Structure 1
C-alpha cells in the first residue's frame, strides 16, 4: 500500500486492535459519598467550648463556629460543604459530610470470540455503563445503573452510592451477562455493534471498502488487521465490511 493511501486511511478512521473488553467514554458521573474525617484538636475544641462537651447538633452552634468548620472542610478536603446532612461523631471526634466525586462514565462491550473453525461467533451481552475511577486499572471499574441517577444533558449524571452494582465486575463478566452465539460460517460474515461514537466489528473478511463522504466514486480498499476490532469512522464516511455496511447515521 502506498504511503499516500495509508495516510488517507489513518485520517479516515481509527482501528483498535482486538482485546477482550472494549470501552468508550460517554460522559461523567458525580457520585455523592458520605465521608467521615477525624477533626483536629484545634477545630474540635471550638465545639467543646460552646457545648461544655455535651453533644449538640450542628445547627445549634454559632454561625462563627459553623463557618470555621466549613473553612476547615474546604481546606482539608476540597469540598464546599453544606452542613444540612453533616453529623458530628462525638465518640470518635470526627465529622461526616457529603463529598462529591467526578468519575468518567464509560460504555463497555465484550469483544467476543470465533470458534477454531470460524463457524461460530459468540460474545457476552454485558451491562453497558461503568464508572471508571482509574481509567488505567479496569479492576477499579464498577457497573452503574443510570436509572438511579439524574441528568439534564445525558452527559453528566448525579448518582447516589446505591447506583453502583457490586454484583458485576470486569473480572467475572460471565456472572452478570448473557452469552450470545451466532453462525459465522459465511466467509464474508460481519457483525457490527454500536459502542458510543464507535462501532465494534467482528468479521471473517480480510478487506473492507471505505466510502468517503458517501461518494460512491471515492472508494478505497482497506486491509483489516484484526478479526475483532473497534472502528471509529469520520462523521460523513461509510465502510463496507463483508456483509455489513457501517455508518454513523
Structure 2
C-alpha cells in the first residue's frame, strides 16, 4: 500500500511505541507468519540472518502481503547495500557498527536523496510499492537507524545523534556488552551495559529521535520500554520457534523447558 512508507514515520512522530519482529529464517513463509502475528514492523536481517541477498526481494514481497512494514538490517556500512535495500522496497534501514560521526554521516549520505544526501535515484520496486511520488516522499518518510554497539560508539554518542538526517539509533546489546565487558549478552539490565543502554535512550529522546533496541522476549522488551525505547524488537523468528519447541517438549516430558542461551537471537 502506498501509505506503508509513511506509516511507521507517522507513528513515531506521534510518540507511539512500535513493536518489531526480526527475520533470520530464509523463505517467505516465516515472514508471512510473523507479519500476520501482529508485529508493526519486520526487519530482514542480512547481517546475521540466513536470508541471502538473493532472498531479500522474495522476503519483502512476503511481508507486503501482511500488515507489517518492512525494514532491512544491512550487513555493514556499504552504500550499495543500503541503496539496494531501499530501492527493493524497505521503508527503512538499520546499519550495524556505526562508531563515529563520520560513519553516521556516510550512512545518511547513502540513504537520502540530494541535496540532503547522495543516494542514486532508481527506486525500482519502491516506486511500484509506494507510488509514483516515492522520490518526493522518501527523504521525509524513510527511516535511517545507526546501530550503537561498541564502547567507541558510546563515546561518540552525542556526535552521532547530532548527525542531520538520522532517524534514530538502534542498540545491539550483544555486541555492546561484548565491547564493554568482554562477554556478549542480550540482557542489558546489569553492570556497565545497564547504564549505557539507559543513557542511549535518554540522549536520543532528548534530541527528538527514535531509540530502538533488540531484546530476547517480553520481559526485556518491557524493561527497554520503561527506559523510553520506542522501537523494540522482542525476539526473532528463529528464537521464537526454538523457544516454543523447547516449551512443548518440556511440558510433555514433565521437565522445565530449557532456557534459551543469553546470546540467543
TM bucket, shorter chain: under 0.3
Q: Point out the structure with the larger helix share.
A: 2
TM-score (norm 1): 0.17
Q: Point out the structure with the larger strand share.
A: 1
Larger radius of gyration: 1
TM-score (norm 2): 0.16
| Structure with more relative contact order (C-alpha pairs < 8 Å, separation 6 or more) | 1
